[in-house]
Structure 1
Amino acid sequence: MEKQCKRTFPRLIAAVILTLGFAGCQEKETASTETIRPDLKGNVALLSAIGLMSGNPILPVATADPDIIYANGKYYIYPTATGPNTSQFHAWSSADLLNWTDEGIVLDLANVSWAHADGWAPCVVARNGNYYFYFTAEKKIGVAVSASPTGPFVDKGSALATGDGTDPIDPMVFVDDDGQAYMYWGNTTFNIQRLNSDMISLTGTRGHNKPSNFFEAAYVIKRNGVYYLMYSINHFGNDDYHVEYATSSNPMGPWTYKGRITSPRGAIKGPGHNAVIRKPGCGDEYFFVYHRRTSTNIHERQVAIDRMFFDAAGNIVPVSITNSGVVESAGGTPCYTPNPIANGQYVIRSKMNTTAGAGLYVDIAGCATGNADVRTWTRTNCNGQKWNLTYQGNGFYKIISELPNHKALDLDACGIDRGANIQVWDVFANDCQQWRIEPAGGGWYRIMSKSSNNVMDIADGSNTPGADIRSWNWNGTDAQLWKFEAP
């Protein structure tokens, strides 16, 4: 919703360490030179897709306030405008969530008659055979139309709305199951109003039902008959800028406050202003797109993507803010069942075998009953190779050792970076000890940490018994594939 950095370079797509620079941001655009941000030097997770995961951030420019849609076999992200006077809106496309292409300027405020600057926080909706591009410009709400998700979008010729309150910004449009569309917008003051079927004019009484703590960046989805209103709290420059949510049985409220979705994590500050998209063709898989920053320059924000889950009661599970992002998800990729393995006791076998052909299993060295590392080992009868799986009703499992002290499989310190150690530890109710199990074909599975979205991995792909088991970004190798067998 504020001024943004200017793009100074094209994206370089690679799975190696890249040297990228972001120009410094000012309240007004100025000429800039390429610089290398210290927080990006040598950090593969921040620079590009890693293995078969998106990495975070996913766009190579400093921008914010993303919306996301899926159309014509591609995902499209629309962030806040860049360029002179924050006037040029771009679209970014991806077929797989890993590699993103700048589709160029889709709307330039130079071509808008009623406002030429401060282009913030767009929202795009497909309807009537067209794409409708809602945007903020000079603190008014506009709408432009195109037959293509990549534009060019043509403004309707006047502002769609100003809204009530001093900061009528951040439009979001939701189309209900009955075809009625609603627009939500505003900072501090919350505006809700119906759209006509033409999608470029408003109708009916404007509502102001506001959930607790609302500040800006409304985003609405509907799931199982419940309306979920997500919104951001605090000024965007606050380290604790974050997303909370409320629910209702009516798209115009009133709203019941539910809780917090995002929180800062380590060097990652201000995870907020989100959009959500359901994976195409899947009933209950969601991607959560948002911006965050690692720079002390509050205008130098980054667009990122992570998974969003619901618990058995329909509550949104707090989103894990990660560096690895999400796995490759091209159109037509399989939908994942939330609990593919029945509760019970198993030994966990790697797809890798020793050179002699013996199987390798997840093992606690020497059947240690205390807190200890896990490794690979050939099959034994020790309880250090027996694991009790219990589905938690939120997309994740607890995995508990059968040894007498019943320690939990644990990601050391909830480590966000690949290479973090995997161990057994005292049982806690935190993300370090929750694991998602997803089929990867042929009866094999990947085991992903809720904390980092990285997977269980045999260090260096070693097939020698005793190799360390760690976390790593998903790359589909045999060292990351596991099978659940009867003990």
Structure 2
Amino acid sequence: MKKLSLSSVKTLLFALTIALFFSACRKGSPSAPEDAVNGAGKNQMSHISALDLMSGNPILPVPTADPDILYANGKYYIYPTATGPNASQFHAYSSTDLLSWTDEGIILDLANVSWAHTDGWAPSVVARNGKFYFYYTAAKKVGVAVGTSPTGPFVDKGSALATGDGTDPIDPMVFIDDDGQAWMYWGNTTFNIQRLNSDMVSLTGTRGHNKPSNYFEAPYVLKRSGIYYLMYSINDFSSDDYHVEYATSTNPMGPWTYKGRITSPIGAIKGPGHHAVIRKPGCADEYFFVYHRRTSTNIHQRQVAIDRMFFDGAGNILPVSITTSGVINSPGTAACLVPNPVANGQYAIRSKVNTTAGGGLYLDIPGCSNNNADVRTWTKTTCNGQKWNITYQGNGYYKIISEQPSHKSLDLTSCGIDRGTDIGVFDALGNNCQLWRIEAAGGGWYRILARASNNVLDIENGSVTPGANVRSWSWNGADPQLWKFETP
């Protein structure tokens, strides 16, 4: 893969994504935009470098799909569907911070499995008893292999763990409940649920088939506040509208109450599905959503990506925003983020960038316009175009509404998810392009992220001149991306 640079702040990240990455198998500083590089060329054999201080999407250096994710020994590990001859070689990819991912090599080769040698799909990995258990599909049966580290090598138990009921018993997922009981969920069309013995390599008890509305494949279970969330993929993987929905229950075997949709295609990005979820270590409510998607018309060219997942105040999973910038660096040891660090109220939003004379620069509606308009920076005035009413929505995001009589909302122009998209004010619609996450960045300064793109408010070229354009950009921690909320 060749290293490409962005020659313009308006360069579309989609173009980079499509040019650099294809996926396959079944299942920079804002003051110097030319330095904002997708650094895949730095070590194309082992990892894809981060995009500024964000992961960028896709995140893995090879075409693959059906990822699971685990945190152990200070690293995140992603386990996708096998690559190599006839999808026979499973790899693991590791990262300390979710930015750059390193190929840890082959951790299980089906050539060494006695009962199946092809079609290695959709693994699920759990840690228990001082060991790591690698559940996977091969030859349309479910197997399990055991290792002493997250990267194996994993040794198969010597026979299939399960075939399940139905014609396509694939896609195992193992969930360990609070009481220590482990459960396995698997199956395409026919949904299988069964308890695992404490040895984690054999099943016990009655097999259940309670499935929610629309269930097709790729089950994934998590538990939050006593509620079991069963997520699953809808439609065949070849569909542009392959996506994730979910249902809930108070019992790990159901019955399940259908709740709604989590992912949807956007623009050139199709088929966002077959996912896994991880909660950031030590944090009560920070979730990352790992999944595959594609930008190619070739249905086998799929890419692994990562985005944030949020719950609303009622415990519903919010639809996941499918982005090109991905997530902000998040080492497992980093402090947890406060979901609503700024109190509701009216503020002037000041940049950390000052004029050459030392004066402050503020988020401003040009000419105090009462119409839809781009926003810029300007020195302090008494105009209502510098007064912003901020209201927390109870789901990790704020509305930011102008005090001008028309009460326009801070908005991503044309709902663009690519970095370089202009920031403006527009009629208040309350959609994802008008919802903003505010996160403390230290010293009383904050970054302001758009829900639709996960990019942050940024002063174009880091300009110190009043009137500079304000746009969205991937987070890099520079002063043009830091803001303070002051009394207007």
TM-score between both structures, scaled by the size of structure 2: 0.92
Higher RCO by CA contacts (8 Å cutoff, separation 6 or greater): 2
Check whether the contact 2:423–2:470 (CA below 8 A) recurs between aligned residues.
yes
Q: Which residue of 1 aligns with 2:116?
A: 115
Write the mapping of 1:320-399 to structure 2, written as runs, cut at 5 A: 320-399=321-400
Indicate how the Cα distance of structure 1 residues 92 and 246 shifts in structure 2: closer, same or farther if over 3 A, else same: same
Per the TM alignment, residue 274 of structure 1 is displaced from its structure 2 partner at its CA by: 0.5
- Looking at structure 2, the residues matched to 399 and 146 of structure 1 have their Cα atoms a distance apart, in angstroms, of 50
* Structure 1 residue 22: Cα displacement: 6.4
Structure-2 change in CA distance of 1:333 and 1:477 (3 Å):
same
- CA distance in structure 1 between the aligned counterparts of 2:196 and 2:55, rounded to whole angstroms: 35
Q: Distance in 1 between matches of 2:24 and 2:451?
A: 34
Alignment pair present for 1:302 and 2:303: yes
CA spacing shift, 1:410–1:179, aligned 2, 3 Å: same
Structure 2 unpaired stretches of 5+? 7-15, 27-35, 41-47
Q: For residue 110 of structure 1, give the secondary structure of its aligned residue in structure 2.
A: helix
Give the structure 2 partner of residue 407 of structure 1.
408
Aligned to 1:150: 151
> 1:319: Cα distance to partner?
0.2
What residue number does 1:458 align with?
A: 459
Corresponding letter in the other structure for 1:226: I
Cα deviation, residue 18, structure 1: 10
CA 1:415–1:24 in 2, change beyond 3 Å: closer, same or farther?
Answer: closer
Given that 1:45 and 1:55 are in contact with CA atoms closer than 8 Å, whether structure 2 keeps it comes out as no
Mapped partners of 1:428, 1:75: distance in 2 = 37
What is the CA–CA distance in structure 1 between the aligned matches of 2:421 and 2:383, rounded to whole Å? 26
| 3-state SS of 2:86 partner | helix
Deviates more, 1:44-53 or 1:169-178: 44-53
SS in 1 for 2:258: strand
Structure 2 counterpart SS, 1:316: coil
Identity %: 76
After TM superposition, the structure 1 = structure 2 runs for residues 157-168 of structure 1, keeping only pairs within 5 Å, are 157-168=158-169
Partners of 1:64 and 1:301 within 8 A in 2: yes
SS at match of 1:54: coil
Structure 2 CA distance for aligned equivalents of residues 315 and 480 of structure 1: 31
- Following the alignment from structure 2 to structure 1, what is the Cα–Cα distance between the partners of residues 140 and 92? 21
Matches of 2:425 and 2:19, distance apart in 1: 38
Distance in 2 (alpha carbons) for counterparts of 1:375 and 1:70: 41
1:256 aligns with 257
Superposed displacement of residue 280, structure 1 = 1.1
Query: Any idea what SS the aligned residue of 2:268 has?
Result: coil
In the aligned structure 2, how far is the partner of 1:342 from the partner of 1:92?
40
The structural deviation recorded for 1:13 is 8.8
Offset from partner CA, 1:56-109 (integer Å, 9 cap, x none): 000011000000000000000000000011100000000011111000000000
Preserved contact between residue 293 and residue 305 of structure 2 (Cα < 8 Å): yes
Q: 1:349 to 1:294 in 2, by over 3 A?
A: same
What does 1:420-439 correspond to in 2, within 5 Å? Answer: 420-439=421-440
- CA distance in 2 between partners of 1:322 and 1:411 (Å): 14
Residue 104 to residue 137, structure 1, CA distance change in 2 (3 Å): same
- Residue by residue, what CA displacement relative to the aligned partner does 1:256-285 show, whole Å, maximum 9, x if unpaired? 000000000000000000100001111100
Tell me if structure 2 keeps the 8 A contact 1:243–1:272.
yes
Q: Tell me the distance in 2 between the aligned counterparts of 1:384 and 1:358.
A: 18
**Within-5 A mapping of 1:17-96:** 44=38, 48-96=49-97
Residue type matched to 1:160 in 2? L
Instruction: Note if 1:225 corresponds to 2:226.
Output: yes
Matches within 5 A, 1:6-25: none
Alpha carbons 1:45, 1:56 under 8 Å: kept: no
Q: Match for residue 319 of structure 2? A: 318
Distance 2:133 2:413 in 1: 46
CA contact (8 A) 1:15 1:48 kept: no
CA-atom RMSD, angstroms?
1.9
Is 1:182 the equivalent of 2:169? no
Residue 18 to residue 120, structure 1, CA distance change in 2 (3 Å): closer
Do the aligned residues in 2 keep the contact of 1:18 with 1:44 (CA within 8 Å)?
A: no
Cα gap change, 1:337 to 1:269, in 2 (>3 Å): same
Residues 12-61 of structure 1: CA distance to partner in whole angstroms, max 9, x if unpaired? 8998789986689688xxxxxxxxxxxxxx99499742100000000011
Comparing 410-419 with 66-75, which one deviates more in the overlay?
A: 410-419
Change (3 A) 1:319 1:19: closer
**Does 443-452 or 46-55 show the bigger shift?**
46-55
In structure 2, the CA distance between the partners of 1:81 and 1:317, relative to structure 1 (3 Å rule), is same
Cα distance change on mapping 1:20 and 1:435 into 2, 3 Å: closer
Secondary structure of 2:458's aligned partner: strand
Alpha-carbon distance in structure 1 between the residues aligned to 2:249 and 2:221: 11
Q: 1:163 & 1:205 partners in 2: Cα distance?
A: 12
Partner of 1:440: 441
| SS of aligned partner of 2:111 | helix
Q: Counterpart of 1:447 in 2: which secondary structure?
A: strand
Offset of 1:248 from its aligned partner? 0.3
Following TM superposition, by how much is the alpha carbon of 1:429 offset from its aligned partner in structure 2, in angstroms?
2.3
Secondary structure of 1:476 counterpart:
coil
Once residues 415 and 19 of structure 1 are traced to their aligned partners in structure 2, the CA distance between those partners, rounded to angstroms, is 17
Tell me, yes or no, if the aligned pair for 2:355 and 2:464 is still in contact at 8 Å.
yes
Letter in 2 for 1:285: E
Q: Distance in 2 between matches of 1:332 and 1:358?
A: 37
Are the aligned partners of 1:14 and 1:48 in contact in 2 as well (CA < 8 Å)?
Answer: no
Residues 372 and 45 of structure 1, relative CA distance in 2, 3 Å threshold: farther
Q: Is the 8 A contact 1:45 1:324 kept in 2?
A: no
In structure 2, do the counterparts of structure 1 residues 480 and 319 end up closer, same or farther at CA, with 3 Å as the change threshold?
same
Between the aligned partners of 2:23 and 2:265, the Cα distance in structure 1 is 23
How far is 1:337 from its partner? 1.2
Please say if residues 445 and 481 of structure 1, whose CA atoms lie closer than 8 Å, have aligned partners that are also in contact: yes
Measured in 1, the distance between the counterparts of 2:79 and 2:63 equals: 13
Do residues 247 (structure 1) and 233 (structure 2) align? Answer: no
Q: CA deviation at 1:331?
A: 2.3
Unmatched 5+ residue regions in structure 1? Answer: 1-8, 28-41
CA contact (8 A) 1:455 1:472 kept: yes
Q: Summarize the Cα distance change of 1:66–1:24 in structure 2 as closer, same or farther, 3 Å threshold.
A: closer
Runs of 4+ in 1 over 2 A off after TM superposition: 12-27, 42-48
Contact 1:310 1:316 survives alignment (8 Å) = yes
Taking structure 1 as reference, are residues 110 and 15 closer, same or farther at Cα in structure 2, changes over 3 Å only?
Answer: farther
Give the partner amino acid of 2:332.
Answer: G
